[in-house]
Structures are given as C-alpha cells and as structure tokens.
Structure 1
Amino acid sequence: MYFADYHSLLPVLFAKLFKKKSALILAGYGVTYIPELNYGSFANPIRGFCAGYSISNADYLLPVDGSLITEAKEWVQNIKGEIHIIPYGFDPQKWYCDTPKEKIVLTVGNFDTLQRIRRKGGDFFIEVAKLLPEYRFVMVGVTDSGRELLEKIDNVEFIEKVTQDELRKIYSKAKVYAQFSLHEGFPNVVGEAMLCECIPVGSNANGIPTEIGDCGFILENRDPAEAAKLITKAMNSSDNFGKKARERILTNFLPEMREQGFLKVFQSDKKSEVNSK
C-alpha cells in the first residue's frame, strides 16, 4: 500500500486477521502533522488513528527516506514491522538535457491552493526571486487559482501544467532547480531535474538532502537572503556540476534499484516462510 492514511487501515487489519503479510510505503503525508498548514494524516484524529494503526501493524514499512521513520516514531510508539528504506528511482532515458543551459531558476509543483503553495515553498521562491532580479525564475504547475494567491513580480514566470516532454525541455534549459518545501518525502521533481543536469538548491527537509548529496546546495535556515546566495553560487558554478548531479542519480536512484529493493525484501520473506514450514 502507498501512504499511511484512512485507506490503509482495512488492508492492514484484514492482513493481520487472515495471517497475511502487509507492506506499507511511507512518503511525506502519512507520517506528519504541520499545524500551521493543517497538513498530514495526523492533522485529523480519525485519519491519524488509521495511519497510526497501519504504521504500527504493517509487517513491512518501506519509507522512501529514513527521515520519514524518525518522523513516524513521533506519532507511533510501537512500530513492530521490519523497516527497509527504498528510495524512488528515476528514468534517465526519459529525463535528460539536450539544450544549452540558461540563467533560469526553476521550481515545479502543484501550486493551486495556499496550503500547497506554502508547503512546496512557492511563496518563499518568490521572496528569493525579489532579491535576484538579474535571473529569470520559472514556476511550473501554477493553476488559475494559484495565480490569484501568488505575488506577481517581473522576473517570475508562471506556467500551468505541462506534458512530461514539455517539462523535460524546461528542465533542460534551467541551470538551477530550487525545492524550498517545508515538508517532502523524496520529491520526484528533484531527481528529474538532476537527471536533466540542473544544479539543485533545496531546503533541509526529509529526502531533499538525501537526493542532492554533495551535488548541490542545502538551505539550512529558511532565510530568503541565504537562499539567494546559494542560488547565485549554483548559477556561477560550472555546467560540469550539473553533470555531476545527473551522475548522482544514475549511481543511486534508478528504477531498477527500487525494484531490486522490493525484490530483496519480498524474496527474503518468501524464503523465511518456506524455511518455517
């Protein structure tokens, strides 16, 4: 099952009743509560109970990043299942750079409500853009309702939802990719951007530093001036740094690596069942 929430309660419960094994993939929403945004499964008592029961009783917990287990333990004290960290994988045949880089700072998300804009750091992105008028900032995924909520400034361009191929072309042009989220699991957009040789600048939230590693810049404090300095450093870096970002994904986060992670867990479980008979 994907995410711990109300939908995961019955599958975990019935698996337990019928003596079957259950596995739960943990990403961002199902392990948290952000009071100022009223975000996360634990924002609601009923959903929190469902998520908590699922996390506590699943036989396998498969977080996309280790930070999510740490966070889950703040809400669920008696975790019983085996824990295996299996990050997302990204397809290098689908995401690649084929154009010269431009002085563009890009962020991608679903910017449609105030909650999502704030969680994904869309408002913070604009505050940073104000400090760097010499660069073009692009936000992809801004809906009509999102436009009404976001401040308009000259060097920030809003783009609505695009196709995957259109998105790849936008990644290819952008030299810097920024992910200023308050909370994430293991964001796909960061991995996609890095495969397209964008130099990543990201907040110190959950799986973002894991993805970036030493191939980009991590914002330790939520300060627009500090973020602007990091973006300037990234923009002034050699294009080879972007190639290094792609290489990091190729080395650590491919789809077949995720597949092998699942196979290792479930084949091991199958062997254990055979040996116990």
Structure 2
Amino acid sequence: MNKILHIITGLSDGGAEAVLYRLCHHDKENQNIVISLMNKGKYGSLLEDTGVEVYCLNIPAGKIRITALIKLYKLIRQVKPDVIQTWMYHADLIGGVVARLAGFKNVFWNIRHTELKPNESKRSTILIAKACAKISSLVPKRIVCCANKAASVHVELGYADEKMIVIGNGYDLSLFYPKRDCDSSLSDSSRNFLLGMVGRFNPQKDHVGLLKALDIVKKRRSKFNASLIGQDINTNNLFLLDNINTLGLEEHVSLLGQRADIATIMNSLDIHVLSSSFGEGFPNVVSEAMACGTPCVTTDVGDAALIVGQSGWVVPPKDPHALANAIVEAIDEKQNNPQAWQDRKKACRERIVENFSIDKMVENYHQVWFS
C-alpha cells in the first residue's frame, strides 16, 4: 500500500476540500494522510472519522511562520510518502517547495481556480499563482487541474503546459441520487415551482445578479419560490436582505444559511441555479444537483457548460436578463410539457453517472500518480 500525503491550504467548507475528502474516503488502495497549513475546519474531523491522519500547522491566514515550515519539513520526512499531492495555490507553493527541499520529487500540484481577475480576485492569491507559474517547470511532476478552462488560463499565466492534466471532480452516487425524500419546508403550497442556489456568500457567486434575475422572473411568472443556501446566506446578512427588500422579493426568496443535507435540498428543488460571475473551476453544486435528477440553469463559468451538456441551460455571466429567460423556460417546460421535463431529469442523472462518478475520479488520480 502506497502512502499519499496531501498538503492543503485549509480544510474549511469549500469545493477543493470536499473533493479531497471524497478522494481520501474512496481511495481504498492507498494510505492517505493530510496536512492542513491552517486548521481542521469542517473536513478535518470528517477525514479522521474515515481513518485518515490529519495534521494542522495552524498558520494564520495571510501569514508565514518559520516554525510551521520547519514542522512541515519534519512531517514530510517523518511520513516518507510515495506521493505528495498539494491542493490550491498556497499549498502548491509552500508544500511543493518544502517537499522538494525535503528530498521528495514525486510532487503533484492541484489547481482549483479558473480565472484570476485583478479587480475581483485577492491580490495575494494572484501573486502566489504567478510565483507558482515561475517554478512550475521545476517543482511538480504533474499539475492536476479541475477543469479544462483552468488549464488553459494557467498556461496563459505561465504554467508549464506539458505538465497539465485535467481530472474532473467525482461524486458519490450512493449519496446523490433521485429520491422522494424531500424537504417540504422549502416549498409553499401557493407556489408551484421551487428553485434554489447552494453557494456561500461571496462576490464571485453574484447573488445580486441572481436577485435581479428573480425580479425579472417575478414580473413574468409570479408563482415561484427561491431558496438560497450557504455560508452567511441568512437573515443576519443585511446586504442581501436590503437587496431582497428593494426588489420586492420578500415573498419569493428564503435565506436558509449553511446546510448539511445538500442531497435532500437538491431533491427538493425543481431547478438549481448557479449565478457565479467568475472563479469557478468545476462547480460541485451543479453536478450534485444533476446527480439527483435536478436540472440546472448555470452561468458559463469554469467547466459548468461541460458538466451540463444538453441537459440544462447555460447563459453568459453577469446577464440577469439571460438568467431570467432560462429560468422562465424551465418553469414553462415543467408546467406545460411534463414528459420533456421527466426526460430532462433522467438525462441529468445519466450524464453524471457516465462521466463524473467518484470511482472514475479515483482511478484518474491513480493513473497520474503511478504512471
């Protein structure tokens, strides 16, 4: 059994962290060990529950501690891994360099971003990504990208083209599948269409653009509810509440906060909407919704269009009118053409089963690590 050492920036509630957890949980052929540069976050304990060793360096965000780097060096030497897989820019840079200094050459990076925009991405993130680009031909053996667009964007940034490989995310289809187990509290008997969006409160998710689109939908199809789920998506978020009230969407939009029962939520929705304007790589929520047989309306960010294929709707980012038109089309199809709607739901599930299962993702990582 080979030892795989994963070094990740942190273990909070995010897409990269979720993929790392699924990979470790379903990789039965290797011993997986995780080092978080920060703390345990959400996934540290979950990883430990599956038997994965987790070490935390507790480096504060935006800081570098020499003592932590020394500890990382010693941990790498202590574990003596066969493979070192780093995740996200900071871990790619710090973990990759320290691993090479510790004498380990079998280093693999993992890129989870697609776009890096000066006015929207953090300056520190852009600087770290550029630093990684300069040493990408020297440090990693291969560079795993979560999306085709991520690969092309980073090659333009200066990353070594010949080292790039794309591995799409994989999903546990025994957890995400069509079922009748729905959350009745999400719906209202006076409405007959429920849409939702799962995503933390962050400018890249463009919740404001989504609300503008819902305002347009309201004027054309009044009988709908929208449930917004995610970190900081709650009634304490005065910014969101102000936008909802300004647009007169109080009776249509519910802020549900962070939830753990995502599969149940996806099964409860008629459609899942992703309104992101940038920054997505391989958006998990789109695949999770589709695995549950829930059609998606998404902006054309990252590899969202690749995931959806012909099973849903893809519109340009930052275009509330286009987003609203797609939502209205979905509402009309469900109400006026039940057979087409059922065919669409079936196609959603089949696309994920055929292309993005967890077993396929694990197999792809094994091929990269051991080929």
Q: TM-score, normalised by structure 1?
A: 0.83
> How far, CA to CA, are the matches of 1:188 and 1:216 in structure 2?
15
Q: Is the 8 A contact 1:5 1:41 kept in 2?
A: no
Structure 2 residue ranges without an equivalent (≥5)? 1-84, 334-340
Structure with higher helix content: 1
Q: CA shift at 1:92, angstroms?
A: 1.4
Q: CA shift at 1:161, angstroms?
A: 0.9
Tell me the SS of whatever aligns to 1:110: coil
Task: Mark the CA change 1:156 to 1:71 in structure 2 (over 3 Å): closer, same or farther.
Answer: same
Comparing 138-147 and 255-264, the one that deviates more = 138-147
Q: CA shift at 1:245, angstroms?
A: 0.6
Q: Is the 8 A contact 1:62 1:84 kept in 2?
A: yes
Is 1:168 aligned to 2:257, yes or no?
no
Give CA-to-partner distance per residue, 1:202-231, whole Å, 9 cap, x none: 111111111111111110353212111111
Q: CA shift at 1:54, angstroms?
A: 5.4
Q: Percent identity?
A: 19
Tell me the SS of whatever aligns to 2:290: helix
- Residue 108 of structure 1 aligns with which residue? 198
Task: Mark the CA change 1:171 to 1:205 in structure 2 (over 3 Å): closer, same or farther.
Answer: same
Greater C-alpha radius of gyration:
2
> How far, CA to CA, are the matches of 1:240 and 1:223 in structure 2?
28
| Amino acid of the structure 2 residue aligned with 1:59 | K
Is 1:72 aligned to 2:154, yes or no?
yes
Is 1:264 aligned to 2:347, yes or no?
no
> How far, CA to CA, are the matches of 1:88 and 1:67 in structure 2?
14
- Residue 156 of structure 1 aligns with which residue? 253
Q: CA shift at 1:239, angstroms?
A: 2.6
Q: Is the 8 A contact 2:146 2:169 kept in 1?
A: yes
Is 1:37 aligned to 2:120, yes or no?
yes
> How far, CA to CA, are the matches of 1:163 and 1:211 in structure 2?
23
> How far, CA to CA, are the matches of 2:309 and 2:316 in structure 1?
14
Task: Mark the CA change 1:263 to 1:7 in structure 2 (over 3 Å): closer, same or farther.
Answer: closer
> How far, CA to CA, are the matches of 1:187 and 1:239 in structure 2?
24
| Amino acid of the structure 2 residue aligned with 1:25 | N
Q: CA shift at 1:240, angstroms?
A: 2.2
Give CA-to-partner distance per residue, 1:47-99, whole Å, 9 cap, x none: 244433454432111111111011112322x5165222110011111012323
- Residue 241 of structure 1 aligns with which residue? 344
- Residue 129 of structure 1 aligns with which residue? 214
Task: Mark the CA change 1:266 to 1:48 in structure 2 (over 3 Å): closer, same or farther.
Answer: closer
1:2-151 equivalences under 5 Å are 2-17=86-101, 18=103, 20-28=105-113, 32-39=115-122, 42-43=125-126, 45=127, 47-53=128-134, 55-57=136-138, 58-76=140-158, 79=160, 82-99=163-180, 103-111=193-201, 116=202, 118-133=203-218, 134=222, 135-141=224-230, 143=232, 144=234, 147-150=237-240, 151=243
Tell me the SS of whatever aligns to 1:125: helix
| Amino acid of the structure 2 residue aligned with 1:248 | R
RMSD between aligned alpha carbons? Answer: 2.3
Q: CA shift at 1:192, angstroms?
A: 0.7
- Residue 67 of structure 2 aligns with which residue? none
Q: Is the 8 A contact 2:272 2:289 kept in 1?
A: yes
> How far, CA to CA, are the matches of 2:208 and 2:106 in structure 1?
43
- Residue 255 of structure 1 aligns with which residue? 358
Q: Is the 8 A contact 2:235 2:255 kept in 1?
A: no
* Count of residue correspondences: 256
Considering Cα pairs closer than 8 Å and 6+ residues apart, tell me whether 1 or 2 has the greater RCO. Answer: 1
- Residue 271 of structure 1 aligns with which residue? none
Is 1:187 aligned to 2:283, yes or no?
yes
Q: TM-score, normalised by structure 2?
A: 0.64
Q: Is the 8 A contact 1:34 1:40 kept in 2?
A: no
> How far, CA to CA, are the matches of 1:207 and 1:86 in structure 2?
11
Tell me the SS of whatever aligns to 1:132: helix
> How far, CA to CA, are the matches of 2:349 and 2:270 in structure 1?
13
